[in-house]
Every structure is written in structure tokens, then in C-alpha cells.
Amino acid sequence: MTSESVKIKKNYTRLFRFDSIRISKLLEILQNSFIVFILSFFLGTFIDKFFKSEDVEKEDAFTLSWKIVLQFTLIVIFAYYIRKVVDIIPFFFSLTKDYVPSKKGEKATGVSLAMAIVFVGVQKNFLERLTRLRNLYGFNV
């Protein structure tokens, strides 16, 4: 058996492993995802309301671009601080003493997924401006 086939077999076995460490990893991802969901939902909604426009279609390219840059900047800053908040909250649901929280980046997985999904989902004005800008420059799909 080659070293590559041994590696594939080991990875295949690990894929379907379901022990207390695997469950703890999933619980850590879920805990962080829920925290990020709540923070991203409220902060993302706040950012979107702050950049609310009565009619995005009437904004010229400069105004549109400027508002996109400002809104994107706020999203990035808030995302940075949401990660900081998640970093100070300990993992509460470990099922075994052998589990080391976020040893392989579980925290980053939960945070990144939740933040991307929620921030994009609640940024209605941001998405409208991006669509309008894309159309202005002829990138219609």
C-alpha cells in the first residue's frame, strides 16, 4: 500500500468518525455561529438602516460608489469586533477533557460562515447598491 492510499484511507475513516471530540467540535462551531448570528443580525441591520436610501436607482455612480465603500468599511470594522467578542467567550459545551477548543480553527469556521450568511442577508441597501453599480458599468447578468 502506498503512502498516498494510506493517507486516503485514514482521511476516509476520520470523515465518518463520530466521537466526543467530533461532537465537541460541532458544538463549538454551533455555539460560535449562534453568537455571531445574533451580533451580525443586529449590527448588520443597524448598518443597513444607517445607509438607507429612498431610491438607490436615482443615485449617481460617485454617490453609489462612495456609499458602498463606506458601508463596506463599517461591515469590515464590525466583523473585526464581532470576532473579538467571540474570542473572549469560552466554549461551554465540551463533552470531554481531551477536547482543546479551536485547536484546528473550529472557532473561525463558525464565525466566518455565520457572519457571511447573516451580514449579506440583512444588507438589503448594500446589495441594491452593488446591483445598481454593476448595471451602471454594464456587468448585467
Q: How confident is the model at residue 141 (pLDDT cuts 50, 70, 90)?
A: low
Would you say residue 17 has pLDDT above 90?
Answer: no
Examine the pLDDT at 140 and tell me if it is beyond 80. no
Residue 126 near residue 71, CB atoms below 8 Å: yes
pLDDT in tens, 100-135: 887 877 678 778 888 988 988 998 999 999 888 888
Q: What share of the chain is helix, strand, coil (3-state, %, to 5)?
A: 75, 0, 25
Specify the pTM: 0.80
> What digits encode the pLDDT tens for the residues 35-84?
999 999 999 999 999 988 878 888 888 888 999 999 999 999 999 999 99
Confidence (pLDDT) at 41: 95
Q: φ and ψ at 64, to 5 degrees?
A: -60, -50
Domain limits, the chain: 30-136
Q: What pLDDT, on the 0 to 100 scale, is given for residue 38? A: 95
